[in-house]
Structure 1
Amino acid sequence: MAHRVICLAGALFIITAAPALAMPPVGAALAAAAGGWAAGLTATAIMGQAAMAFVLSGVQMALAKKPKAKTRDEITLNKIQPVTAGLILYGERTLGGTIVARSTTEAGGKPHRRYHSVMPLACHEIDGAVEIWLGETKVWTEAQYRQDAARGTGDPYHWGQIDSDFRGRIRLKVHTGAEDQAAEPRYVAAASEWTADHRGRGVAYVYFEADYDRDLFPTGAPQIRVRARGKRVYDPRDGQTRYSTNPALCLRDYALTPELFGGIGWREEDLDDAALLALANLAEEPVPLATGGTEDRYAFNGVLDTEAAPRENLDNLSTAWGGWWACERGRLTVGGGAWEEPELTITEDMLVAGIRVIARRPFEEQFNVVKAQFADATAEHVVTDLPVLASETYRAADHGERLVRDLGELPGETGHARGQRLMKLALLKGRRQRQVILPCSLAAWGVRLGDTVRVTLPRRGWQAKTFEVTGRAVTVGPGGVQVRLTCIETGPAIFDWRTSEETPKPAGGIPTLPSPTAKPQVSAPTMTEELYETRGGGGVKTRVRLAATTDNPFIDAWQFSWRPISAAEATVRGLTDTPEDLIDDMAPGTYVFGARGRNTRGMWSDWVYAGAAAVQGENAPPVAITNLAGQSAGGAVAMLRWDRHPSLDVRQGGWIEFRHAGVLTGATWRSSVVIGKAVSGGVTEATLPLKTGTYLARPHDAKGNPGPVSAVALRAASLVPMAEVARLDEAPGFAGTKAGCSAAGGVLSTDEGATYALYVFTGVMDLGVAGPVRLVSDVEILIEERRDLMFGPGTAAFWTPPDGLFWQGNTDAYGDLDTQVRVYDPATATWGPWQSFDAAEFDGRFFQVRAALSVESEAYALRVTRLSVAAFRAT
């Protein structure tokens, strides 16, 4: 047992202060030793064990149990401890690691202002670093480093840094673990505990240095991750040692690596090189991709833990080709990655006893759905779900029950398409049902584990049926030597793959969450305003609501600011736990609003400011009234209803004004006349004279600011039959008496300089007999700017009334035409007072009508194109 403990403890990185006599001058440096097999677990022992039963590994092993592999978090998160187990990196992965040494030294004349750390990546020399991340911010790339090194200017510890908040404010250096590498000079010069003996030969590590900066590092030292290319491996096919992701070459390298450096420590004669090189050739076969191009059939991009048992590491390696490894006849061999044509046919005359057939696997071992994950190389090796592989055919064979086998993360798999091929291989291999045990004579002596054989047994109807040998045992008994083969059915279809079977990645790539260690990003705030009434009766005031957004779920505090555009300093608001803030009693004006957010680690975003925004307050025009509807009542009244207006300054001190146009469509405020009286802004209905046409409603706030116009069309309807008995039509001649107005071209217009005018109808309406009558006016007007502003003073416009103006003027121009009537009283032989009307009932015989025209200023003209009054009596 003592030997077991020593070997397992050997796979540790050690910080030591004095040279070790039993080791090279790594001694006092960052050193790596590697533990190998547990005591007694030698090649011979494994051979003896494997001779009795096939060692089912790789994806096949995953069907029985998941390989114990380092998770992404275990290999990317930083820990702090002086002693740690080493990792062997094959291929390319993103690694974190254990901080084995850290110090604070003087900077700027102040103690403990500069931070230093050393983080090992692998217990061997690596091919190089690709990029470095601090938290979720990429700060360094190999491509940039090469450009900076070629120029040879600036601080070498800044070479390779790319644009980010950290650029030029940190120092980084990657030591690849070369056998002749020297100790990190900046650390040696700054910290007494790190000396020239701390060379770390054969250990790849990254050195990090930064000065104290509360804004840059609000929670202390950041998480460091390095995307690196791993160990260079020897290829017997050409005698070269190079970086490779070929899983067969990686397995060969691991097996031959001495125990002292984390491997198994076997010799070349302990390996079945023919099988390994055959697998190496197979792994490099190009496989077409659905998106175009090709990729290697098999690859391994992952880490092996020197603390784990070699069996576990070999299992992890063999998942890369979905096959197996075994120790057969004293040598490590591999297989299961492709179909192999059988070289031997077993017949009845080779059997020395009865065979045993197992027709179907136990139900608990069945599955028809496969799930798995892979470390996506295009998304910083984030572990991501592969598309679920389900077979309805197999599900039907399982009586419709959905049986799921979750393979978990495929160790070393970083390819989306390759991962799907491994899932299919696992499903098809797992569905192999028939197994057979064949007691054979010495004629089967040459059969090896993993071989494919044909079996011809006419009594069972088997003719050259193919099986894979999964177990081999040799026994000696009274009947002689027996080679007992355990086999499972197989066929070439298991390894088939077509690009049509590949499920593409989701559009937009793999979704990832922002990191809590990265500086958060927030949007500029949006501003909306609303009015409110103070409790103390102080009147109506303005409240501003600020709101910001972010896609960072780790933000837990917000802060907003505001300043008038003319002010130099902003007013910073208190913290809120939601991305909103309310500012009461804001005076009208133009402001700049800002926002920032803080994540759970205390890191603030930058202040983000919106463009200048105007707070109008009570000066803001009200919104339109909504859901305006109307109906006639009693044949003489139009009932209008609408929703309660949302603006406080309309409901308090405001009003709603109504106008009417004689058309059912196309009516505008400028082509209509006032009808009825305005109502308070707080009410939701009004009673107006009934006339066919369009009713228009417009809100005004307490300061008189008008809002948009809403309209509803009505047709006058009456339950009492009525007939027209008289009519006065003034257009187009307009021959009546005029004061402040004139007629030309069939249009009656207010005179220039006049804001009020009267037009008296040409004649008196005589109904023949006195009695009740309903008078209804019919008016069409247009309020226009008097001058066409497209032309300067002294230029001639190219229009004359009644042609429309080229310049249509202000839609808010105000004017009106008020129709008025008076009734002759025969008892006194006098005319009564003038009364305004739109549609109203009177009693009499003789009626005189006039129109009062008004505009709000001399800049406007009111033009009348239709003006008539009709009289109706019941029939």
Structure 2
Amino acid sequence: MRLVIALLILLLPVGAQAEPVTAFLGTVAFAGVTYGQIILFVGTMVYGMAQQKKAERRQRAAAAAQRDAYNAGLQDRTLNRMATDSPYTFVYGRARVGGDLAGILTSGSRDEYQHVIIVHAAHECDGVEEFYVNGEALGPLDANGDVTTGKYVSVATGTHTQQTTASSIVLTYTPVTGTVTGLIETTFDFESGQQGWATIAVSVVGSVVTFSNPGGKVVQLNYQYRQVTSMVRVRTHLGTPDDPVDAHLHATLPSKWPATSVLRGLTYSVVTLNLNQPEFQNGLPQLEILLRGKKLLNFRTGETVWSQNPAEVIYDYLLSDICGVDAADLPMADYIAAANDCDDAITIGPRYTFNGTVTSDMNQSETLERMAQAMAGGIVATTWGIYAGKYSAPVMALFQDDIVGAFALTPGISDADLYNGVRGQYTGVETGYVATDFAPYQNAAFVEADGRELWTDIPMPFTDALQRAHNLCRIFTEDQRNAYMFKAEFSLKTWRLRVGQRITMTSPLFGWQDKVFRVTDKRFSPSSMVELSLKVDDPSIWDEADAVQTSAQPNTNLPNPFDISPLASLSCQSGSEHLIAKDGTIISRILVTWPVATTPSVVRNGQIEVEWQLVGADVWNKVAVSGSDTEVYVSPAEDGSFYKVRGRAVNSTLNVKSDWTYAALHQVVGKTAPPANMQNLSITGSVLSWAPNRELDLKGYIFRSHYGNNLDWNSAAPLHEGVITEMPFELVTRPNGVVTIMGKCLDTSGNESMATANIVTNLGDPVIANVVEVFDFHGDGFPGELQGAVLEAGDLVALETDSFYGSDNQSAYGPDNEPAYALSSYAQLRYTTEEVSVASVLAGSIMTLEIEYQGIDLFIEYRLAGPGSAYGADSDSAYGPDEEPFYGGPGVWQPWPGQILAANDVYQWRVTLGAGSTQARITELTVTIDAPDLVEYLEDVLIDAAGTVVPYTKNFRSIKTVTPTLQANASGAVTIEADKSTNLAPVLRAYNAAHVPVSGATADVIVKGY
């Protein structure tokens, strides 16, 4: 906005010295009016007189609303804004400001770096004194702009693991003294799938670790290290005319921030945030900068330098694009005088200073009001003259004879506008340049005279020292008490007086003798009268009496909520005294202890996080306890295994966390004894029952089976997956015929009972409903491979032998009814079937096997033998998942569980009967594919007299029944029949009472089969 200035030429007596008069905020135009008709008083609008004109402003609600908006703008100056039309910001003097976000970019493999481009000022600035992130001063930065001290320098403790088969190794990181632990491999535990480890002695010099390893085994080194990282980088550009592109941002993101991305003429910063800092993961932090702001013209010397002088600030603001006043319209003598008065050296330094920001969207009138207030002076809008709040000697003596017209007296200020104390906020170095309430000022003598406390609020956004704010409060309070106002029309003798100057007045009528008044307003008219508003003044108002010492507590001395001290130490214990019973099991635990946290906010309402990790694992387990706690159990933990354990303090409110503190590598001591043997195992139908084991470390129960009477646990087929934890247990996968069912107890360490609980029972023949395919190996003459047997009269019969020990998979002593030292008369019989291709499987089909035999130790195995079974798909991993058996997978013989879900593949079976005194014999061996029932429901099937084929949609292999239900119809049909003579194409016909086929009947149909 540009202020349009119009100069009014008035008819004055010859020789009168007319000063230029300017109309504020517009042009005055006169149409059809002669000079002789002009009856015009041109008055002044004086900024800086707000307190004495308080009552008048109350009557102007619009002005009050503007002030509110203005004050809100001042409060917003430290905020970061994201907008496409943000107002220009001018920084005068020294100010802590936020800015307008010009862009937010990311980089890094995980987008872990966030680059924030923030514009602080719409002009060149003199320098940067500090940068703040979320209110935290960053302190000195290095040449790259990285933080060198404080909370945004991450000194993180980490752990690292390295392996070697040599006898020495150079560690990747320099280890923390005393943290290197060496482990050497021992026997691999195939059952648990865990590599065994034992500790070894190591020697550490710097990053070189040596140890004894004559066998060339794998040695694992675990250690702690510290890594120093700057989490913030700041590069500020001061807005010089030749400022180049930000080098770091251009090098990092050349396509998004090319060399042409220069913001010359603007003061801006490029702030790079490392998002690994937890504080930055909840959104953009508040970014602020303490700037020495705009360089100003010192019209006394002609230099353009940084300045805090309010007169120079006002001069710059009026000439800026915000106001657009022409420099020729400014009375420079006033500005020079005001600038000199502001620079007067008093106890607290310069008499008045100006430090703050203004924006282009602030109301200009309110801004000028606050600017004048900062120097306890005024700005005359009609002449742009200014004056500072300093007592100066009167420039003219007036007498009663100089009054040529009407006059009026105002003896004092109204009670509504009276105050004897001032509250408000200022922004100063004592508070870290954050708007803070200053200590309220109160004049004790005025309080006593008034009989009560009368307060007013005066914000001081451009005042940067508590003493200076206090002095301004005293000036305003005392000045409003000298409210004796005198207004009169004077002769042209007073024409040259300016607002802010002082005069003496002598009047016998009022009893005044050289009484000092200050000109507060001036009006004139063509009738040769000058109307002056005069206010009683006194030098004591403007002195430094009642000075105050700094009492505000600097904000930077408050405890930093983001500064969390790490735990002093961490230690671990385990053993029998630390086991716990949970849900019928005993769990090995590690007791982790530490000294009480030293950060008060953590102890009061924070947390302690403890994490633990099995050596060699990738995932940390976590538990959290109250910030006042000093111990916690972590579980479960594997007996004999080594664990890493670490802990840290957490401020729960801000989610700020300390660095990790690590304990020494810990090997768990826990449960080792096997559980008791299972008791009272029995079976009813397909349901197993047993006496429950009450041991605390019991994990559950496991069951396996053999065909026939066979007590070998290791070769038995599992009857379930996982561990059974509840009793009774119904067999889901069940073999058929005579079987041996065995059970053991299992504890949480993986230890099994020493002996098995056994049942030998006949489970009968399998239930078969829909046979879709049968492989009768007996009927086909037992095609395949024979070992220790011959085909005799259609049966497989074991050969005679003189083996003393029997087959390898037999129990050591054999059945109880055998002689203790009986010699084996017959060899082990082993029959491997030919490969059979199954091609008729429907979804959900069950494959069962029936065998009739005599002999002992029946053991049945099967495998998939089709093309590609052995190796799987080309994309499969060579060895399969880690949890699979070492040599498992397709193509490997597996125990036959009794029945399986069938697939269209190639299968093969291997049947073994043990050697012994009884000759092994197989008289029947049949594999059956049993399809599940298939049902389809059809509605409103229209039937033709010639017959209608049932329009089923499911993939039936065989249709067993077709059940039609005749619906009400007009065709005359009374019955309906289904003809299944054509396979898979049943036909429906409807008949009338004469049993003649008719058309038009409809029926609902149920089709069943498989």
Question: TM tier, shorter chain?
Answer: 0.5 to 0.7
The aligned residue for residue 624 of structure 2 is 575
Contact 2:408–2:486 (CA<8 Å) still a contact in 1? yes
TM-score (norm 1): 0.54
Matched, 1:492 2:492: no
Q: How does 1:248-327 map to 2 (within 5 A)?
A: 248-257=311-320, 259=321, 263-289=322-348, 295-327=349-381
Deviations 1:31-88 (A, max 9, x none): xxxxx55999996335999942442427748966768246665122223233311110
Structure 2: how far apart are the matches of 1:360 and 1:61?
Answer: 11
The aligned residue for residue 265 of structure 2 is 202
Structure 2 residue matching 1:382: 3-state secondary structure: coil
Structure 1: how far apart are the matches of 2:433 and 2:378?
Answer: 25
Q: 1:55 aligns with which of 46, 71, 79?
A: 46
Displacement of 1:115: 2.2
Structure 2: how far apart are the matches of 1:355 and 1:62?
Answer: 20
Give the unaligned 5+ runs of structure 1.
1-6, 8-35, 149-155, 290-294, 528-533, 537-541, 564-568, 587-591, 612-875
Structure 2 residue matching 1:504: 3-state secondary structure: coil
Distance 1:525 1:297, change over 3 A: farther
The aligned residue for residue 387 of structure 1 is 439
Deviations 1:601-628 (A, max 9, x none): 43322346999xxxxxxxxxxxxxxxxx
The aligned residue for residue 178 of structure 1 is 240
| 1:171 maps to amino acid | R
Distance 1:443 1:333, change over 3 A: same
Contact 2:101–2:117 (CA<8 Å) still a contact in 1? yes
Displacement of 1:311: 2.0
Deviations 1:750-786 (A, max 9, x none): xxxxxxxxxxxxxxxxxxxxxxxxxxxxxxxxxxxxx
Structure 2: how far apart are the matches of 1:62 and 1:601?
Answer: 47
Q: How does 1:734-749 map to 2 (within 5 A)?
A: none
Distance 1:547 1:97, change over 3 A: same
The aligned residue for residue 416 of structure 2 is 364
Matched, 1:462 2:512: yes
Displacement of 1:343: 1.6
Displacement of 1:196: 3.4
Q: 2:80 aligns with which of 72, 78, 87?
A: 78
Structure 1: how far apart are the matches of 2:463 and 2:53?
Answer: 14
Displacement of 1:387: 2.1
The aligned residue for residue 842 of structure 2 is none
Structure 2: how far apart are the matches of 1:197 and 1:603?
Answer: 39
Structure 1: how far apart are the matches of 2:569 and 2:528?
Answer: 86
Contact 2:601–2:651 (CA<8 Å) still a contact in 1? no
Deviations 1:491-535 (A, max 9, x none): 11100114x6323325x645765566x4545776999xxxxxx99
Structure 2 residue matching 1:319: 3-state secondary structure: helix
The aligned residue for residue 407 of structure 1 is 458
Q: How does 1:539-554 map to 2 (within 5 A)?
A: 548=597, 550-552=599-601
The aligned residue for residue 425 of structure 1 is 475
| 1:306 maps to amino acid | S
Contact 1:60–1:322 (CA<8 Å) still a contact in 2? no
Structure 2 residue matching 1:241: 3-state secondary structure: strand
Contact 1:525–1:547 (CA<8 Å) still a contact in 2? no
Structure 1 residue matching 2:427: 3-state secondary structure: strand
Matched, 1:501 2:547: yes
Contact 1:358–1:434 (CA<8 Å) still a contact in 2? yes
Matched, 1:471 2:525: no
Deviations 1:182-206 (A, max 9, x none): 3334434515344433321211100
| 1:275 maps to amino acid | D
Displacement of 1:171: 3.3
Structure 2: how far apart are the matches of 1:483 and 1:554?
Answer: 74
The aligned residue for residue 833 of structure 1 is none
The aligned residue for residue 852 of structure 1 is none
| 1:104 maps to amino acid | T
Structure 1: how far apart are the matches of 2:325 and 2:565?
Answer: 53
Q: 1:447 aligns with which of 497, 515, 534?
A: 497
Structure 2 residue matching 1:245: 3-state secondary structure: coil
| 1:325 maps to amino acid | I
Aligned residues: 534
Distance 1:602 1:543, change over 3 A: closer
Structure 1: how far apart are the matches of 2:103 and 2:514?
Answer: 64
| 1:226 maps to amino acid | I
| 2:119 maps to amino acid | P
Structure 2 residue matching 1:501: 3-state secondary structure: coil
Deviations 1:425-475 (A, max 9, x none): 111112122111111122222222222121211111111111111111113
Contact 1:38–1:309 (CA<8 Å) still a contact in 2? no
Matched, 1:165 2:217: no
| 1:496 maps to amino acid | D
| 2:235 maps to amino acid | K
The aligned residue for residue 384 of structure 2 is 332
Contact 1:246–1:300 (CA<8 Å) still a contact in 2? yes
Distance 1:62 1:245, change over 3 A: farther
| 1:404 maps to amino acid | W
Greater mean alpha carbon deviation, residues 295-304 or residues 373-382: 373-382
Distance 1:62 1:128, change over 3 A: farther
| 2:454 maps to amino acid | L
Contact 2:5–2:24 (CA<8 Å) still a contact in 1? no
Distance 1:585 1:119, change over 3 A: closer
The aligned residue for residue 530 of structure 2 is 483
Q: How does 1:40-189 map to 2 (within 5 A)?
A: 44-45=23-24, 51-57=42-48, 60=51, 68-69=70-71, 73-105=75-107, 107-108=108-109, 112-141=111-140, 148=143, 156-158=144-146, 164-165=152-153, 168-189=230-251
The aligned residue for residue 345 of structure 1 is 397
Matched, 1:373 2:375: no
Contact 1:344–1:453 (CA<8 Å) still a contact in 2? yes
Displacement of 1:212: 4.1
Structure 1: how far apart are the matches of 2:566 and 2:373?
Answer: 43
Structure 1: how far apart are the matches of 2:602 and 2:45?
Answer: 50
The aligned residue for residue 607 of structure 2 is 558
Contact 1:558–1:575 (CA<8 Å) still a contact in 2? yes
TM-score (norm 2): 0.47
The aligned residue for residue 727 of structure 2 is none
Contact 1:372–1:423 (CA<8 Å) still a contact in 2? no
Structure 1: how far apart are the matches of 2:515 and 2:479?
Answer: 16
Structure 1: how far apart are the matches of 2:525 and 2:22?
Answer: 21
Contact 1:58–1:321 (CA<8 Å) still a contact in 2? no
Structure 1 residue matching 2:435: 3-state secondary structure: strand
Identity fraction in percent: 22
Distance 1:160 1:599, change over 3 A: same
Displacement of 1:174: 0.8
Structure 1: how far apart are the matches of 2:295 and 2:386?
Answer: 21
Distance 1:351 1:40, change over 3 A: closer
Contact 1:520–1:555 (CA<8 Å) still a contact in 2? no
Displacement of 1:241: 1.1
Deviations 1:651-674 (A, max 9, x none): xxxxxxxxxxxxxxxxxxxxxxxx
Displacement of 1:157: 4.5
Displacement of 1:297: 1.0
Distance 1:379 1:403, change over 3 A: closer
Structure 2 residue matching 1:312: 3-state secondary structure: helix
Contact 1:436–1:488 (CA<8 Å) still a contact in 2? yes
| 2:43 maps to amino acid | M
Structure 2: how far apart are the matches of 1:359 and 1:526?
Answer: 78
Q: How does 1:677-692 map to 2 (within 5 A)?
A: none
Structure 2: how far apart are the matches of 1:317 and 1:463?
Answer: 35
Deviations 1:279-318 (A, max 9, x none): 11111111124xxxxx111111110111113222222222
Contact 2:517–2:534 (CA<8 Å) still a contact in 1? yes
